[in-house]
Amino acid sequence: MKNFEILSGIVGLMLLLIVSIFILGFINNIETKSNVISCGTYAPYIPMEPSMKVGEALFKANCATCHNKNMKADMTGPALGGALKRFNNDTLAYADFIRGSQAYIKKGHDKRVMQLFEDFNRSVMQDFPNLKDEDIKAIIAYTENMYRYGYY
Ligand code: HEC
pLDDT tens per residue, range 87-108:
999 999 999 999 999 999 999 9
Same domain, 30 and 90: no
Domain residue limits at 31: 1-43
Instruction: Report the amino acid identity of residue 91.
Output: T
pLDDT at 1 over 70: no
Contact 83, 143 (CB under 8 A): yes
Q: What is the pLDDT of residue 36?
A: 39
Q: Whose CA is nearest to atom 25 of ligand 1?
A: 83
Same domain, 83 and 144: yes
Q: What is the pLDDT of residue 48?
A: 55
Weakest-pLDDT range from 27-41, 98-112, 124-138: 27-41
pLDDT at 117 over 90: yes
* Nearest atom (ligand 1) to Cα of 128: 38
Same domain, 85 and 38: no
At 22, the pLDDT band (50, 70, 90 cuts) reads: confident
Separation of alpha carbons 61 and 130, rounded Å = 13
pTM, two decimal places: 0.75
- Number of structural domains in the chain: 2
Same domain, 38 and 62: no
Same domain, 79 and 141: yes
Same domain, 6 and 74: no
Q: What is the pLDDT of residue 43?
A: 44
Residue to mutate, 101, 128, 132, ligand 1, most ligand atoms under 8 Å from C-beta: 101
